[in-house]
Structure 1
Amino acid sequence: MTTGRTAARIAAAFTALAALAGCDPQRIDKLEEGVATEADVRAQFGEPENIWDSPAGRVLEYNRQPAGRKNYMITIGPDGRMSALRQVLTPENFARVKPGMPMEELRKLLGKPAKVTRYALKQETEWDWHWNQPPNTPMVFTAVLNDQQYVLRSGSSQDRSVEAP
């Protein structure tokens, strides 16, 4: 009996994940850079996880962690229109993560992590983001921070918690 309920819950989780993955491209297709307003973005994506100020304008963070494998940063320019929509969990952005990077800068670059694990004896905290390496290999990017909230080291590895398709 318990096994059946567990299987049903797992199936429901996968269905929700598939629906989430299918919704983002539809939402993105409805937004055009230079035309869509912040209200249009919020109508498609809802309330952002966070809002950052940048020289280019306001950046709205839309997190798809821990179930998804993408995080979006959508920039609203000074004119109130969307000037950029980008998926930030990329090898190019991971390469920008360097020892000494402050935690806030890391967060603005990659968005909220899927998982945060504290190792008190080591005085370190691991931040993990789930992402897909093309064509579709599940990966995890990990940044290790010290107690002063600066990156010590980082890297990617294959995500062993899911089977590759």
Structure 2
Amino acid sequence: MNTTWRKLPRWLLAGLLALLVAACDPQNISELEEGLSTEADVRERFGAPEAVWDGPNGAQIYEYNRQPAGHTNYMITIGPDGKMAALRQVLTPRNFAQVQPGMMMEEVRRMLGKPMKITTYALKQETHYDWRYQDGPNESDSKVFTVIFTPDLRVVSTLSVTDPDLDRSR
């Protein structure tokens, strides 16, 4: 039995798994159709959701997170009839613009999905939630959107920067 995989660090294995899952997303998405695909079809292609949120009119919203290695988070709406009503990639500048000062963390979390990283700065009395996203077709278009929260988890501000994990020496 090959033990090479066992020697790799856990974070690297998790990253490789995330990349493999994300690579399958276009195929899985192409196999689903709004109004026809069922909850079972969604789960067969995407697996168990990261979270399930209550949606409007009895719908459920399934969160499929591709953070920290990926650049997407999907929200798939399952209508009360058990059919897929919508499939959206939510890490977009349009959604980021909807994050406003005073919003609660729970609202932001429901809108954008699980962040790639949460960092608390005790002296500044701030908590930063970071999401990695793609702002163009190239690898160099990778960015990080940050939401800064107060100690009671209300939005103070947001910012977007070039992904610091990009290797600029290439």
**TM-score under structure 2 normalisation?**
0.86
Q: Distance in 2 between matches of 1:108 and 1:49?
A: 11
CA contact (8 A) 1:124 1:146 kept: yes
Corresponding position: 1:149 with 2:150: no
Q: Is 1:140 the equivalent of 2:144?
A: yes
C-alpha deviation, 1:60, in angstroms: 0.2
Structure 2: where are the runs of 5+ without partners? Answer: 1-6
SS at match of 2:156: strand
Q: What do the CA deviations read for 1:94-131 (whole angstroms, capped 9, x no partner)?
A: 00011101111000000000000000111110000000
Give structure 1 regions of 4+ aligned residues with deviation exceeding 2 angstroms.
Answer: 6-21
Alpha-carbon shift at residue 163 of structure 1 (Å) = 3.2
Amino acid at match of 2:145: F
State percent identity of aligned pairs: 54
What is the aligned partner in structure 2 of residue 120 from structure 1? 122
| Mapped contact 1:20–1:68 kept (Cα < 8 A) | no
TM norm structure 1: 0.88
Partner of 2:132: 130
Partner secondary structure for residue 21 of structure 1: helix
Matched residue count: 160
Alignment of 1:16-165 (within 5 A): 16-56=17-57, 57-136=59-138, 137-163=141-167
Write out per-residue CA displacement over residues 10-69 of structure 1, whole angstroms, 9 at most, x where no aligned residue. Answer: 987775454233200011111110011111101110000000001151000000000111
Considering only aligned residues, what root-mean-square deviation do their CA atoms show, in Å?
2.2
